[in-house]
Amino acid sequence: MSYQHVLLVTDLLSDADKVALKTKRILAGSPKARLSVLHIVEDDMVRFGYELVPSSSLSGDVHNEKWQKARAKLAQFLECNELEAVNSEVTAAISNSKGIVDYCHEKKVDLLIIGRHERHGIAALLVGATADSILPNVPCDSLVVKLDEPVSE
């Protein structure tokens, strides 16, 4: 199958290169595919009635140090892994899951590539894996790259 729009979602942790390598292999088999890369920054949320909204979208504060570091790290990630993306984006969302699902719908992604860290015990119950929560909701094929225990930044 030849893909047209591939989305690589990355947490930019030290093992993200494993997911980038799988992405490169997929792109090699789909030479006409365009690549988008998405990283979601944890953002403070503001409650409006029943809705939660990222505070950065209200204040326009997407140029602070946290955002600048994330953009620089994403650029470095792309360069180190020799990935050429038509769109690389750092964004905030109500949750990682919602941000990823919304992006797939809005940008008409036909393949999502994401890493999944193994979690055990209480961490699995409390935190869970983003990949597990998005798979039933994305409108496209998905490649989940199995990773080890979560690593540090």
Domains of the chain: 5-147 (3.40.50.620)
**What pLDDT, in 10s, does the model give residues 14-24?**
889 999 999 99
pLDDT of residue 124: 45
Contacts of 111 (CB under 8 A, 6+ apart): 3, 5, 6, 7, 26, 33, 140, 141, 142, 143
Task: Give the containing element (helix H, strand E) for 117.
Answer: strand 111-117
Handedness of CA 136, 152, 84, 147 (dihedral sign): negative
Q: Give bridge partners of residue 34 from the DSSP assignment.
A: 5
Q: Count the neighbouring beta carbons within 10 Å of the beta carbon of residue 53.
A: 14
24 or 43: whose pLDDT is higher? 24
pTM exceeds 0.95 for this model? no
pLDDT tens per residue across span 98-137:
888 999 999 999 999 998 876 545 544 444 566 677 888 8
* Amino acid occupying residue 32: K
